[in-house]
Structure 1
Amino acid sequence: MKLVLSLAVAVATATPGLALPLSDAERAAFRAELRAYLLEHPEVIREALEGAETRRMARHANADLARIEAHAETLFRAPDDWTGGAPDGDVTLVSFVDYRAEGARRALDAAREAAERDDRLRLVVKEAPRPGDEAAERAARFALAVLRLAGPAAYEAAQTRLFDAGARLDAAALDRISAELGLDPAEVTTRMAGSDITAKLAETRALTEALELGPAPAQVLRRTMVRGDVPAIALLRMVEAIRRKK
């Protein structure tokens, strides 16, 4: 029936130059019969649309897989990213963070929870502020500066405070967070302007563009890209699916 439908639609919608030799009256009658059939059997349209959507999704998934493979080294093994969970885990989850993005805190919390519940999961966090958002970039620079000055534990604490600050991510708020973390605000501010931090943010931005990932929050596994935030249980199911396919 799908083949018949495809042929019928082609005939009914053909341009005059490509039309079969039907008179205007025959063409009108054919279209009326086709319309009546489709009204009587709407499931034919639904099946055709579902098939087209399935093919579109498969093409999209295959394109995602190719992009992940092409950028795997930068994505999963960049030496200057914060890394947690199992250091030698068999699956790596990469979480992209923007402290001003809707759902970013939920996404990072879900990634951390997944790493806590799965002792074979390695977690990587990348700072991915939205381009053009000065406050978001300032927060990302601050987080990276804390990581480089004070290490992973201070970085995690800084992330929590950055999310707590919400929209108030101006210089005064960052100085206050520095002091709460026991750091010298002036030293952190200087470190934020470091060329290595500028290069790191540029690298991550180029990576998200190459992956066609879109804005944070986002999560990436070896065979899956999640645009937006999903709960930890969903991430854990994706991890298990990847293990089964190995």
Structure 2
Amino acid sequence: MKLVLVLAAALVTAAPGLALPLGDAERAAFRSELRAYLMEHPEVIREALDGAEKRRMARHANADLALIEANSSALFYAPDDWTGGAPDGDVTLVSFVDYRADGSDRALAAARDAAARDGRLRLVVKEAPSPGDEAAERAARFAMAVLRLAGPTAYEAAQARLFAAGATPEAATLDRISADLGMDPAEVRARMAGPDITAKLSETRALAEALDLGPAPAQVMKRTMVRGDVPAVALLRMVEAIRRKK
């Protein structure tokens, strides 16, 4: 109660439009006493700031939950995404990847590790190159073309090679990866330009913007959004927390 009264008094006396009916001398004396109290009890300020931060985080979390719910169909059940882990898992983890983004390789590896360690976790991967980054989009198109032409095993292999390719996966590099995967480079190049791939990239970009995700990497579950990369153990704890909420 003391904390509430002190902070309320500080707020009221700091705002001229909400001022207490005090004279100038009384107001000056009150502020002096308040300042002395806060100097003697700095924990009051810390507690107030901690409370404000918790309230801010709660508002942010609630906003995230509303965004996830509003976009759940496109997020969790798009038919042309790569899907792994438990097909009928009780929790779905969606990993947004960009082959040129720092941490995206770690984020995807953590998501795959979590799915391998949790027999009830379903994993979805979405290609999310940074808007305007031609090299990142080229890499995403390549991965999607491989998935459509050769299936999930080749797709995973292509992803590993794309992360290893470095900052700029040139056309020659992509041709070499295609050949190493036993695919016709010309066929892959043609498939990369397919209208379905263009539409899918636009759809994922719009989804990321609707969720206010920011750049990849990002991980999304029914009650959680992680902007950035976190280790598998953290993802698994989030999964268990979601299960406890059900």
Q: What residue is the counterpart of 1:202 in the other structure?
A: 202
In structure 2, the partner of 1:76 is 76
SS in structure 1 of the partner of residue 229 of structure 2: coil
Partner of 2:232: 232
Partner amino acid for 1:2?
Answer: L
Give the equivalent residue in structure 1 for 2:51. 51
- The RMSD of aligned alpha carbons is 1.1
C-alpha distance in 1, partners of 2:236/2:19?
A: 54
Q: CA deviation at 1:27?
A: 2.0
Partner of 1:5: 6
TM-score (norm. length: structure 1): 0.96
> What is the aligned partner in structure 1 of residue 39 from structure 2?
39
Give 1:111's aligned residue: 111
The offset of 1:183, in angstroms, is 1.1
Q: CA deviation at 1:18?
A: 4.0
Secondary structure of 1:125's counterpart equals strand
- Which residue of structure 2 aligns with residue 97 of structure 1? 97
TM-fit CA distance, 1:19: 2.5
Instruction: Give the aligned partner of residue 186 of structure 1.
Output: 186
Counterpart CA distance in 2 for 1:164 and 1:119 is: 28
Q: Letter of the 1:63 partner, please give it.
A: A
Return the offset for 1:103.
0.5
Q: What amino acid does structure 2 have at the position aligned with 1:111? A: A
State the distance in 2 between where 1:240 and 1:20 align.
50
Q: Which structure 2 segments of 5+ residues have no match?
A: none
Q: Following the alignment from structure 2 to structure 1, what is the Cα–Cα distance between the partners of residues 132 and 3?
A: 48
The equivalent residue for 1:143 is 143
Q: Contact 2:90–2:121 at 8 Å: present in 1 too?
A: yes
Tell me which stretches of 4 or more aligned residues in structure 1 moved more than 4 Å.
none
Equivalent residues of 2:100, 2:168 under 8 A apart: no
Aligned amino acid, residue 94 of structure 2: V
Using the TM superposition, give the Cα deviation of residue 24 of structure 1 relative to its aligned residue in structure 2, in angstroms. Answer: 2.5
Q: CA deviation at 1:243?
A: 1.2
1:134-188, Cα deviation, whole Å (9 max, x unpaired):
1101100000010001110010000000000011311111111111111111111
Q: CA deviation at 1:236?
A: 0.8
Farther off after superposition, 235-244 or 148-157: 235-244
Match status 1:62 vs 2:74: no
Structure 2 CA distance, aligned partners of 1:3 and 1:233? 39
**Alpha-carbon displacement from aligned partner over 1:181-208 (angstroms, at most 9, x marks no partner):** 1111111111111110000001101111
Identity of aligned residues (%): 80
> TM-score, with normalisation over the residues of structure 2?
0.96
Letter in 2 for 1:44: V
Q: Residue type of the partner of 2:105?
A: R
Report the equivalent of 1:176: 176
Deviation per CA, 1:68-89, whole angstroms, max 9, x where unpaired?
A: 1111111000000000111111
The answer to whether structure 1 residue 123 and structure 2 residue 123 are counterparts is yes
Count, aligned residues: 245
Gap runs ≥5 in structure 1? none
Aligned-pair distance for 1:25?
2.5
